[in-house]
Homo-oligomer: A and B are copies of this chain.
Amino acid sequence: MSRSPGKLATSGRVVALCGGVGGAKLALGLQHVLGERLSVVVNMADDFNHLGLYISPDLDTVLYTLGGLSDEARGWGRAGETWNFMEALKQVGGETWFQLGDRDLALHVERTRRRSLGETPTAIARDIAWRFGLRAAILPATDDDLRTMVVTPEGELEFQHYFVARRCEPTVQRIRFDGCESAKATDNVRRALEADDLELIVICPSNPYLSIDPILAVQDIAERLRAARVPVVAVSPIIGGQAIKGPTRKIMDELGLVPTNAEIAAHYRGLIDGLMIDQADAADAAALGIATHIAPTLMTDLPSKIRLAEQVLAFGERLQGAPSLKTAASGDMP
């Protein structure tokens, strides 16, 4: 079912907005097709300080995934990982609620050292990406402090404390992005979104509320998406009518959010020109009020990631030159 590469696959630049594991899979496929013509703008609002270390979970997932270093079977962290640090940390009475592998730890220690010397997250990510042999540019959405805070009856919790340490037990009343009033897109992100040869902006199938919203909470990123002269397409995280599962589903329920393609389309309205949905949800297309592209979106292996990337690029090509429907409320593309 592989298609021959179109224009986007051979010349234009693409920016992808991405959270952690799910989004990184598509980013890996896009890197495979686009190489250095891909820039990945990554959520930084899950970052937290733990054991005195700066930890950037989504950024590191993207770095490991696109560097071919991630553990595919476990679904997070590095391949060939060992856990002797954690075992010894428990022995000396340290906090062990956040799993840090022995190899993974090196990135946190080195990042923390460089940040203490005044290096920006962007500069550090660029260097690490180069060392890991990545071809895509990995761009933190912002170098400013921006934190996903979960408002619960017990008070406000940092996202990782809520999500990992508290295992999502407290009821979520609200999610807010601390620092979003002042957080600015980095120069690199602005340049990527304004490049003359930019041809497509992709929102990866990361959780819209927890992974993409904190990127869009950076005002000058959201503004550039709204004003973009190139197509902006999102890949829906819904597959086969299945909403996001597990603890994230609990959060959505508590916030009164029903993750369906209709909800995703409504959520991104005004920002995107098209929504890519899974073939199993083809019946949703007509009612979404936005251009759609139907394809298999489940990514199980590298070929399926590359195929989805090609489909995304094909969708972008199809939308190029078409009148933007961001402010309209029309149906599928003709």
Contact = CB atoms under 8 A, between A and B. Distances in A.
A224 interface: no
Interface stretch (A83-91, A139-147, A157-165, A231-239): A83-91
Interface residues of A, number: 33
A80 B89 CA distance: 15
A72 interface: no
- Copies assembled: 2
A94 B112 contact: no
Contacts of A116: 52
A105 B91 CA distance: 12
A89 B109 contact: yes
A110 B93 contact: yes
Interface string A34-59: 00000000000000000111000000
Contacts of A113: 51-52, 94
Given A84-B82, A85-B102, A87-B103, A92 B52 contact: no
29 contacts: A51-B110, A52-B113, A52-B116, A53-B109, A78-B88, A80-B84, A82-B102, A84-B84, A85-B85, A85-B102, A85-B103, A86-B106, A87-B103, A87-B106, A88-B102, A88-B103, A88-B104, A88-B107, A89-B106, A89-B109, A89-B110, A91-B106, A91-B132, A92-B106, A92-B107, A92-B131, A94-B106, A94-B109, A94-B113
